[in-house]
Structure 1
Amino acid sequence: MKRIAVFLMAWLALGLAQKGELRLFIWSEYIDPAILQAFTQKYGYRVRMDLYESNEEMIAKLQAGGVSQYDIIVPSDFYVPSIIRLGLVQPLNHAKIPNLKNLDDKFKNPPFDPGNRYSAAYQWGTTGLIFRKDKVAKPDSWAVLFKDPKAPFILMDSPREMLGNALRYLGYSVNTKNPKEVQAAGQLLLQAKKSRYFLGFEGGVGGKNRVVAGAATYAVVYNGDAVKAADENPGKVEFTLPKEGATLWVDSLMIPAKAPNPEAAHLFINFILDGKVGAQLSNFNRYATPNRAALPYIRPEDRKNPAIYPSPEVMKRSEFILDLGKDNRIYDEVWTAVKSR
């Protein structure tokens, strides 16, 4: 019997190997490892994961050959149209993703990808401030960075999100096409850079990690990263959305144009869009779910947490970042000037 058991284990292992890999290219700290294990157990595909800290880094890797190396990418909404125009992704086969029906109506047929032809929403959230609550009072405005900083701070290394929050502070739309308004936001960031308290730009979880470590007092970060950090460091850090409002974003699952395993990619997207898996994802990430079927399984305390699900008043003051087509160059030019000076 022992020999039979050993044979069966070897046969099962061989079967897993023959299924091959799903190659996932994703933001760091952005998926519960248990979800990947469950996917492997259910479908037999091992998951190999590479990480990035910014949309720009991800796109550069795709253009340098990654388009044929990865099966799944997770870009932000305002980059999706450019990724499609560049031919870096392939259309989704909706017949292989029946769980697309689980998406909440506001994430179906999004303006950046009509009909969800290329993308399926993964998580959504905000950018705001993480701060050391054991050192400073809770800030209510972006002024702690842009007007008269008095403590070490880090800015987010993401052009549309960082310029967008500066625009909100100035009272402008994060999607303005007025060059003078974008330039004014750029001047605000340059002024912040000149402060003796400015510690640099950080992408992904970098700013959050430096605040947790005590190296910085404030950082512009994604809300889920900050909420997790607050739970892990009670009494030390907290997250807030300034009164002027902030940028909103949706990250989506997409399949690169020359993905080595598109069959596994479709299975993975459908798996993530399962109601219980979607809830497990958000309960781990501490971001809001775009999955209507997941909501009943979200932790009640998270459903009530305004840092994860902002109030209607905060949502009115905040904006989703839009792709601006040819007018994206205004932001690119201003951001280049900010980073190079």
Structure 2
Amino acid sequence: MVRMTRRHSALLGAGLLAAPHIANAQANRLAVSIWGGSWRDMVQKQVAEKFTRETGATVEFQTGGTVDRLNRARLSRAQPEADLTFTTSHFGWLYANDNLYETLDLSKVPNAANLVEQAKISPFHIGSWAYVYTIGYRPDLMPGRSFTSWADLWEPWMAGKLAAPDFDPSHIIVASAILEGGDALTWERGQARLRRLKPSFKAFYTNDANSQQLIGSGETPVQVILSMNAHHMVNEGINIRLAIPKEGAVLGVDTVAIMKGSRRQELAYRFINTCLDPTVQAAIAADKKGSPTVSNARLDPAVAALPGVFTTPEQWRTQALIIDHRLRAEKTNEWRRWFQENIIAG
């Protein structure tokens, strides 16, 4: 039998007394997984600060790339590191398919009553803000040219002028399929057309910074570009114009979800509700120049007028080209592999 000394007894007693305080501190902290840099800063400023004022709970951010964070979540599924995760709509389906997300009870998110239909991604994740990938170009370097259709990228005068992301070719793959009478499900119908696009390409960018460098320098005066990046560069004095093709600009939706097994679900629901607050949504739109995902956000007219910022049902219906999010998750690797072998390296 082990004899417990007075010193051991005192330490144990102190530990028992401290335990509730430690547990309470942990309960009053929310761990949020998100990309780093300006995305983390934006959510901290526009969402977390308001959430902390209203709840007293602190927010801890876990940052990393889209794929890295998914892999970390898979490895820590028994004891999730994060309570909430922001990721793209299609990557969110990869989480959901791996049973990493809780099913959302939107009755606990009053502001979700105003979600636009396009932000209702699944029973597990919903849209937090939206944007488009579309045709962006330098009118000073492309005098007299305009873009009314994705088909314009195939014009002879486009030779050696185009850049597109190498990490996600879904935008141009689906646009090409649509031009051939297909869609994302029948994407192979656009393969021959895509091969004919090869003379238009000058480069393939690897990240946002690379995209901005290529179009900012004029090396690629036309891009399949993230609308938020284009608006950011315009604010910095670069002459970039965004076109919304008649087929639609490819919609991107970033989403938020509660991780399976989170022990702070009440706080997580409060955080989601804060994110969907109409004043917060308007602030996010002003910061990132994207679309709010609730219908009652009131944007500054100058922001609302920007191409790719949707504020009315008509804009969502006519200007957004939506790739089924679950299908996109299933096809991402296949599309990337085909594009690498046949367009980038072919």
Q: What is the TM-score normalised by the length of structure 1?
A: 0.75
Q: Which amino acid aligns with 2:38?
A: E
Farther-moved stretch of structure 1 (245-254 vs 206-215): 206-215
Give 1:128 shift. 0.6
For residue 189 of structure 2, give the secondary structure of its aligned residue in structure 1: helix
1:166 to 176, 192, 195: 176
Q: Does the aligned pair in 2 maintain the 1:142–1:242 contact within 8 Å?
A: yes
1:40 partnered with 2:41: no
Alignment of 1:32-71 (within 5 A): 33-35=44-46, 36-43=48-55, 44-52=57-65, 56=67, 58-65=69-76, 68-71=80-83
Alignment-derived partner of residue 227 in structure 2: 223
Alignment of 1:108-119 (within 5 A): 110=120, 112-113=121-122, 117-119=123-125
1:25 to 25, 29, 34: 34
Please give the alpha-carbon distance, in whole angstroms, between the structure 2 residues aligned to 1:260 and 1:25.
19
Please give the alpha-carbon distance, in whole angstroms, between the structure 1 residues aligned to 2:263 and 2:44.
22
User: CA, structure 1 residues 259+143, in 2 after alignment: closer, same or farther (shift >3 Å)?
Assistant: same
User: CA, structure 1 residues 316+23, in 2 after alignment: closer, same or farther (shift >3 Å)?
Assistant: closer
1:94 to 100, 103, 106: 106
Using the aligned pairs only, state the percent identity: 16
User: CA, structure 1 residues 184+87, in 2 after alignment: closer, same or farther (shift >3 Å)?
Assistant: farther
Alignment of 1:244-323 (within 5 A): 244-259=247-262, 261-294=264-297, 296=298, 298-309=299-310, 312=314, 315-316=317-318, 318-323=320-325
**Alignment root-mean-square deviation, CA:** 3.5
Alignment-derived partner of residue 75 in structure 1: 87
1:178 to 183, 186, 202: 186
User: CA, structure 1 residues 240+260, in 2 after alignment: closer, same or farther (shift >3 Å)?
Assistant: farther
Please give the alpha-carbon distance, in whole angstroms, between the structure 1 residues aligned to 2:133 and 2:169.
12
Q: Does the aligned pair in 2 maintain the 1:45–1:264 contact within 8 Å?
A: no
Please give the alpha-carbon distance, in whole angstroms, between the structure 2 residues aligned to 1:326 and 1:33.
29
Farther-moved stretch of structure 1 (306-315 vs 76-85): 306-315
Q: Does the aligned pair in 1 maintain the 2:249–2:308 contact within 8 Å?
A: no
Alignment-derived partner of residue 241 in structure 1: 244
Q: Does the aligned pair in 2 maintain the 1:70–1:260 contact within 8 Å?
A: no
Please give the alpha-carbon distance, in whole angstroms, between the structure 1 residues aligned to 2:240 and 2:257.
34
Please give the alpha-carbon distance, in whole angstroms, between the structure 2 residues aligned to 1:317 and 1:93.
30
User: CA, structure 1 residues 158+25, in 2 after alignment: closer, same or farther (shift >3 Å)?
Assistant: same
Please give the alpha-carbon distance, in whole angstroms, between the structure 1 residues aligned to 2:311 and 2:275.
23
Alignment of 1:193-232 (within 5 A): 197-204=201-208, 206-232=210-236
Structure (1 or 2) with the larger CA radius of gyration: 2
Alignment-derived partner of residue 11 in structure 1: none
Q: Which amino acid aligns with 2:159?
A: K
Residue correspondences, number: 309
Give 1:301 shift. 1.8
| Structure 2, unaligned runs of 5 or more | 1-23
Please give the alpha-carbon distance, in whole angstroms, between the structure 1 residues aligned to 2:255 and 2:109.
14
Q: Does the aligned pair in 2 maintain the 1:207–1:220 contact within 8 Å?
A: no
Q: Which amino acid aligns with 1:221?
A: I
Give 1:99 shift. 1.9
Farther-moved stretch of structure 1 (72-81 vs 83-92): 72-81
Please give the alpha-carbon distance, in whole angstroms, between the structure 1 residues aligned to 2:162 and 2:306.
25
Please give the alpha-carbon distance, in whole angstroms, between the structure 2 residues aligned to 1:178 and 1:34.
42
Q: Which amino acid aligns with 2:188?
A: K
Alignment-derived partner of residue 18 in structure 2: none
Q: Does the aligned pair in 2 maintain the 1:28–1:204 contact within 8 Å?
A: no
| Structure 1, unaligned runs of 5 or more | 1-14
Please give the alpha-carbon distance, in whole angstroms, between the structure 2 residues aligned to 1:56 and 1:173.
29
Please give the alpha-carbon distance, in whole angstroms, between the structure 1 residues aligned to 2:226 and 2:250.
10
